[in-house]
Amino acid sequence: MSGAPEDDGGVSIAASASERGAERSRSRGSALAAVIGKARADGRAALIAYLPVGYPDVDTSIAAMVAAVEGGADVVEVGVPYSDPGMDGPVIQEAVDVAVRAGVGMPDVLRAVEAVAAAGAVPVVMSYWNPIERYGVDRFADDLVAAGGAGAITPDLIPDEAAAWLAATERTGLDRVFLVAPSSTDARLAATAAASRGFVYAASTMGVTGTRATVSDAAERLVARTRSVSGTAVCVGLGVSSGDQAAEVAAFADGVIVGSAYVRALLAGEGPDGVRVLSEELAAGVRRARVRT
């Protein structure tokens, strides 16, 4: 099994990666902010697709991510499998459980990141904190830069506990996406948005991930509250499963995050083709609504 690669080139790769990261933070700025800004310039919201690495197997999951990009996703959240996904509902749990039992780990995740970047979208890793900490925070940051990743979304890491991650992302120029919730106080909204780079992840409904028939208007209020304290882009997750819902969210958010619906397509055996079809529907949805500015 591919455990912890300690290849001879590690040091020099890490060094050059860190140089590139520093260069990016000086010259290019946030990769996520750039792609979301470009969508906004086109008068639409960005489409952000989540898929976990390793379901049904690593190669098919990577093919599904590439298909999501071909169907119109601007950003792919490359999901790191985790044994205790406390924020995910049964759909994502079912897929991730397969990947965890198969021993899928960070080397597979980095391969997926490279594939998404090669397909022309912006890859951002989505990971609970322990797999990153176990891999090594600085090693993760360096390897992610080398793979062409934009940064990471950390659903169970709040800025209060993120000192090591803040330092690693400052050093490398990687984006760091933290979550806000309807229950967040104004002070926390401001602090969390200020700590974020790339975008702020608005968890629209109080609850775990999963597809819902209607998108709560709590999401719109949360986006408005976040925008009132921050200039960072706000993307909405937890709940969208159809093109119409994507259009609804795209009317008030900078980006529409879709996870469970993509995973459901894979669980239903539709494969990368099903993911591509869903992506096309969602991509049309985010273009139907005019983004308010």
Partner 1 sequence: MTLSAHAPAPDVPDATARPEWPDATGHFGVYGGRFVPEALVAALDELTEAYEAMRVDPEFVAEFARLQRDYTGRPSPVTEVARFAEHCGGARVLLKREDLNHTGSHKINNVLGQALLTKRIGKTRVIAETGAGQHGVATATAAALMGLSCTVYMGEEDTRRQALNVARMRLLGAEVIPVTTGSRTLKDAINEAFRDWVTNVETTNYVFGTVAGPHPFPAMVRDFQRVIGDEAREQVLEREGRLPDVVLACVGGGSNAIGIFTAFVPDAGVRLVGLEAGGDGVDTGRHAATITGGDPGVLHGARSYLLQDDNGQTIESHSISAGLDYPGVGPEHAFLHDIGRAEYRPVTDAEAMEAFALLCRTEGIIPAIESAHALAGAMVVGRELGPDSLLLVNLSGRGDKDVETASAWFGLGEHTAPTDDDERAVEAGRGAEPGPGLDEDQQPTEGAVTNDEAVAGPDAGEQA
CA distance 254 to 159: 22
The one-letter amino acid code at 2 reads S
Among 18, 30, 196, 209, binds partner 1 (CB under 8 A): 209
Among 65, 76, 113, 132, binds partner 1 (CB under 8 A): 132
The two tokens of residue 292 are: 């308010």
Between 69 and 261, CB nearer to partner 1: 261
Indicate whether 139 belongs to the interface with partner 1 (CB under 8 A).
Answer: no
Query: How many residues bind to partner 1 according to rule CB under 8 A?
Result: 54
Using CB under 8 A, which of 37, 131, 148, 271 touches partner 1? 131
Angle at 290 between CA 284 and CA 293, to 5 degrees: 135
Of the candidate residues 179, 219, 247, 278, the single one contacting partner 1 (CB under 8 A): 179
Query: Is 110 an interacting residue with respect to partner 1 (CB under 8 A)?
Result: no
Per the annotation, the verdict on 88 as an active-site residue is: yes
Is residue 106 a contact point for partner 1 (CB under 8 A)? Answer: yes
Q: How far apart are CA 201 and CA 80, in angstroms?
A: 17
CB of 120 to partner 1, least distance (A): 29
Q: Does 214 bind partner 1 (CB under 8 A)?
A: yes
Instruction: Determine the number of helices (DSSP H) and then strands (DSSP E) in the chain.
Output: 13, 9
C-beta of 290: minimal distance to partner 1 in Å? Answer: 27
The reply to whether 5 sits near partner 1 by the rule CB under 8 A is no
Interaction of residue 258 with partner 1, rule CB under 8 A: no
Residue 120: other Cβ atoms inside 10 A: 10
**C-alpha to C-alpha distance for 176 and 174, rounded to whole angstroms:** 7
Does 181 participate in binding partner 1 (rule CB under 8 A)?
yes
Q: How far is the C-alpha of 114 from the C-alpha of 123, rounded, in Å?
A: 8
Rounded to whole angstroms, how far apart are CA atoms 192 and 98?
Answer: 33
Among 23, 38, 120, 134, binds partner 1 (CB under 8 A): 134
To the nearest whole angstrom, how small is the minimum distance from the Cβ of residue 293 to partner 1? Answer: 26
What is the smallest separation between the CB atom of 17 and partner 1, expressed in angstroms?
Answer: 21
From 33-41, 95-103, 115-123, 143-151, span contacting partner 1 (CB under 8 A): 95-103
Cα 60 to Cα 46, 71, 131, 273, 290: the distances in Å are 24, 16, 22, 11, 34
Q: Per the residue annotation, which of 19, 42, 77, 273 is the catalytic one? A: 77
- Say what angle helices 10-27 and 163-172 make with each other, to 10 degrees: 80
To the query of whether residue 70 is one of the catalytic residues in this protein, the response is no
Contacts of 8 (CB under 8 A, 6+ apart): none
Q: How far is the CB of 166 from partner 1 (least distance, A)?
A: 15
| Contacting residue, 30, 61, 93, 230, with partner 1 by CB under 8 A | 93
Q: Which of 123, 51, 132, 128 is nearest to 92 (CA)?
A: 51
Q: Is the dihedral of CA 259, 143, 66, 253 positive or negative?
A: positive
Binding-site member from 72, 105, 149, 285 for partner 1 (CB under 8 A): 105
Which residues are tagged catalytic?
77, 88
> For binding to partner 1 (CB under 8 A), which residues are involved?
3-4, 81-93, 97, 100, 103-106, 129-135, 155-158, 160-161, 178-185, 188, 192, 203, 206-210, 212-214, 260
